[in-house]
Amino acid sequence: MKRDNPLLPYLATLDEVVDLTPDVKLFRIELNDPEVRESFDYQPGQFVFVSAFGTGESPFGLTSVGYRKGPLEVAVRRVGTVTGSLHDLEPGAIVGVRGPFGNHFPLDEFKGKDLFIIGGGIGFAPLRPVITSILDHREDYGELTILNGARTPSDLVFAPEFDSWAAAPRTKLELTVDAGDESWTGRVALIPRVVAELGFSPENAIAVICGPPIMIHFTLIELKKLGFADSQIVTTLEGKMKCGLGKCARCNVGEKYICRDGPVFTMEQISQLIEQF
């Protein structure tokens, strides 16, 4: 159901709040109006604005999948005013939701290909629905390698799902941290180094990456060394956003608006945008 005024949020209720890491919470959000709930459809990669009333609203990638028709899920890292207010809310609180906005990961184009999903820190949030979709339709895709990295072991997001990801058919889960602790027996290395070590083949493959700009920069260098072409690398961009509708020009990169034309782009598209400057 489309709103007459897309700047007005739908009212929604926080069903559940789960601590994912010391500074990231998963919010399960139920839209209040049953008609809106039923018609609210979205794809992996799309985002919503969530408002903490009295404070403001911020964009967050949807980390649930629309076809399961469950509550909307967003993983929110506490960094400032709005995210701080959201973190202070308890289950049962009323929030606002605008969206869904943006384009989505081209999962149809991924079919039949090997996939290398690389996420750093909270950047892993928009990748979770990609993984869920692939695992729910496992026979449609080739080999799946998931690389999830974070600063420390307790900063790895979606830990409760690691066992089921690692046990899925033709799926490898690789975890890495910048710095371990006394209980960590896994890998200690920055994501770009792990990409180089894994030596993933670019043949009939797609790499999907999301994370802090510095991680993306150095991961791209390693993917290029492995032979990945720009058209085989997909990422999501973040930017300052106000409307989410391609109207306010807060989020433009060249002639494109991240909110409307993105946030999902191939590196080929990003290179073309940079050339336009």
Ligand X SMILES: Cc1cc2nc3c(=O)[nH]c(=O)nc-3n(C[C@H](O)[C@H](O)[C@H](O)COP(=O)(O)OP(=O)(O)OC[C@H]3O[C@@H](n4cnc5c(N)ncnc54)[C@H](O)[C@@H]3O)c2cc1C
Is residue 81 near ligand X by the rule CB under 6 A?
Answer: yes
> Which is it for the CA torsion 44, 250, 237, 54, positive or negative?
negative
177 binding partner (options ligand X, ligand FES, none; Cβ < 5 to 8 Å by kind):
none
Window contacting ligand FES (CB under 6 A); options: 112-120, 125-133, 189-197, 251-259? 251-259
Residue 177: other Cβ atoms inside 10 A: 21
Q: Which stretch binds ligand FES (CB under 6 A): 11-19, 66-74, 149-157, 250-258?
A: 250-258
Closest CA to 57 of 48, 47, 46, 49: 49
Answer yes or no whether residue 83 interacts with ligand X by CB under 6 A: yes
State the minimum distance, in angstroms, from the CB of residue 183 to ligand X: 26
Binding region for ligand X (CB under 6 A) out of 107-115, 155-163, 217-225, 237-245: 237-245
Would you say 108 or 255 has its CB closer to ligand FES? 255
Q: x/- contact string, 186-225, with ligand FES (CB under 6 A)?
A: ----------------------------------------
CA dist 232 and 31 (Å) reads 36
Beta strands 144-150; 171-177: pairing state: parallel
Binding to ligand X by residue 205, rule CB under 6 A?
no
Contacts 24+ apart (CB under 8 A), 65-69: 65/129, 65/132, 65/133, 65/136, 66/40, 66/41, 66/42, 66/100, 69/38
- At 101, is the secondary structure helix, strand, or coil? strand
Is 241 an interacting residue with respect to ligand X (CB under 6 A)? yes
| Nearest distance, CB of residue 81 and ligand FES, angstroms | 18
Please provide residue 134's backbone torsions phi and psi, each rounded to the nearest 5 degrees.
-65, -45
Q: What is the CA radius of gyration of the chain?
A: 18
* CA angle (127, 167, 129) in 5-degree steps: 20
Question: Which range of residues in 57-65, 180-188, 191-199, 218-226 is near ligand X by CB under 6 A?
Answer: 57-65
Helix, coil or strand: residue 176:
strand
- Least distance in angstroms from the C-beta of 47 to ligand X: 4
Q: Which of residues 113-172 bind ligand FES (CB under 6 A)?
A: none
Q: Binding of ligand FES at residue 244 (CB under 6 A)?
A: yes
Is 246 one of the binding residues for ligand FES (CB under 6 A)?
yes
Closest CA to 97 of 38, 29, 4: 29
User: Beta strand pairing status for 233-236 and 205-210?
Assistant: parallel
The least distance separating ligand X from the CB of residue 34, rounded to whole angstroms, comes to 26
Which is nearer to ligand FES, 118 or 259 (by Cβ)? Answer: 259
Residue written as token pair 């949807």: 62
- Nearest residue to ligand X by CB is 80
Among 20, 125, 241, 253, binds ligand FES (CB under 6 A): 241
Q: Which amino acid is at 277?
A: F
Q: Which residues bind ligand FES (CB under 6 A)?
A: 241-244, 246-251, 257, 259
Residue ranges that bind ligand X, judged by CB under 6 A: 47, 58-61, 74-77, 79-84, 122, 125, 238-239, 241, 263
